[in-house]
């Protein structure tokens, strides 16, 4: 691990970077214990608060975890898919909400990515995942459902579709794309007719996946994208 620090960044930033690089490069491996705070103070020749701030930065990125007590300390964390999902969703959501990404762009990206899962999902989806989709479709058709709950169920449906590909890397990459759209989707008010059309498409998608018909699933996803775009357009037009 490098210990020479001479950039014009904060000391805590430099130390965090040095440790992070060591983890990425592999000289610190999973579950390995980092030197104690006191040792790091000596090594980098800085005060303890500086070291602690560096460690907190790494903890915020799920790169390390800390444990109190005698055999405690900071340990290189095995990044779990679960943690990576959450990070991915937070980042994507903020990225979209802070950069006035237009609905068309986000929607296009999302459906392009989802369609890439469809063929795999048609091959591999489990009965469990099909059941989840059906359950969400059923939830969506219940009367008195708020728009927000409708959107949440929509997300759950699409996640089941993506998970159907049985590829954790794919699920991870798509988590952000699907979830980050939710705030944008929430800006739409759905009439009962809108919902009916969406639900019908969802059913057709589930049918296609059940029949292992990748082409049909793909076609219905395109229809759904078109439908979503149309809804969004009129919603944003009405807003003005």
Partner DNA sequence: GGCAAGTAAATGTCTGACAATTGGAAAGTG
Partner DNA sequence: CACTTTCCAATTGTCAGACATTTACTTGCC
Kindly list the residues in this chain that would bind DNA in the complex (CB under 7 A).
10-12, 34, 36-38, 41, 45-50, 52-53, 55, 66-74
16 part of the interface to a copy of itself, by CB under 8 A: yes
Q: Measured between alpha carbons, how far is 11 from 22 in angstroms, rounded to an integer?
A: 17
Pair 55, 66: CB distance under 8 Å: yes
135 part of the interface to a copy of itself, by CB under 8 A: no
Neighbours of 239 (CB within 10 A): 8
141 part of the interface to a copy of itself, by CB under 8 A: no
The DSSP annotation for 82-127 comes to HHHHHHHHHHHHHHHHHTT--HHHHHHHHHHHHHHHHHHHHHH--H
From the list a copy of itself, DNA, none, which binds 206 (C-beta under 5 to 8 Å, kind-based)?
A: none
Q: Shortest Cβ distance from residue 156 to a copy of itself (Å)? A: 20
Class of residue 100 by CB neighbours under 10 A (exposed 0-12, middle 13-18, buried 19+):
exposed
Number of residues interacting with a copy of itself: please give it, by CB under 8 A.
58
Q: Measured between alpha carbons, how far is 61 from 173 in angstroms, rounded to an integer?
A: 17
Q: Which is closer to DNA, CB of 47 or CB of 183?
A: 47
Q: What are phi and psi of 144, to 5 degrees?
A: 80, 10
* DSSP label at residue 191: P
Q: Shortest Cβ distance from residue 173 to a copy of itself (Å)? A: 5
12 part of the interface to a copy of itself, by CB under 8 A: yes
Select the span of 56-64, 129-137, 146-154, 193-201 touching a copy of itself (CB under 8 A).
Answer: 56-64
From the list a copy of itself, DNA, none, which binds 138 (C-beta under 5 to 8 Å, kind-based)?
A: none
Q: Which is closer to DNA, CB of 12 or CB of 132?
A: 12
């Amino acid at each position: 691990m490098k210990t020479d620090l001479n950039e014009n960044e904060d000391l805590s930033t430099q130390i965090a970077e040095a440790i992070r690089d060591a983890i990425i490069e592999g000289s610190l491996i999973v579950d390995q214990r980092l030197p104690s705070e006191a040792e790091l103070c000596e090594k980098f020749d800085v005060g303890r608060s500086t070291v602690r701030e560096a460690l907190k930065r790494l903890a915020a990125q799920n790169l390390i975890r800390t444990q109190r007590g005698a055999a405690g300390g900071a340990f290189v964390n095995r990044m779990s898919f679960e943690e990576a999902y959450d990070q991915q969703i937070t980042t994507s959501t903020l990225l979209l909400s802070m950069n006035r990404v237009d609905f068309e762009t986000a929607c296009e990206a999302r459906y392009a990515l989802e369609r890439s899962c469809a063929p795999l999902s048609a091959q591999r989806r489990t009965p469990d995942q099909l059941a989840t989709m059906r359950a969400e479709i059923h939830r969506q058709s219940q009367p008195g459902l708020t728009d927000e709950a409708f959107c949440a169920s929509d997300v759950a449906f699409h996640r089941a579709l993506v998970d159907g590909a049985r590829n954790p890397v794919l699920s991870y990459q798509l988590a952000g794309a699907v979830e980050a759209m939710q705030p944008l989707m929430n800006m739409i008010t759905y009439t009962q007719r809108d919902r009916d059309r969406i639900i019908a498409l969802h059913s057709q998608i589930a049918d296609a996946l059940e029949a292992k018909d990748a082409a049909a699933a793909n076609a219905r996803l395109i229809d759904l994208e078109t439908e979503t775009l149309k809804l969004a357009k009129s919603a944003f037009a009405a807003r003005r």
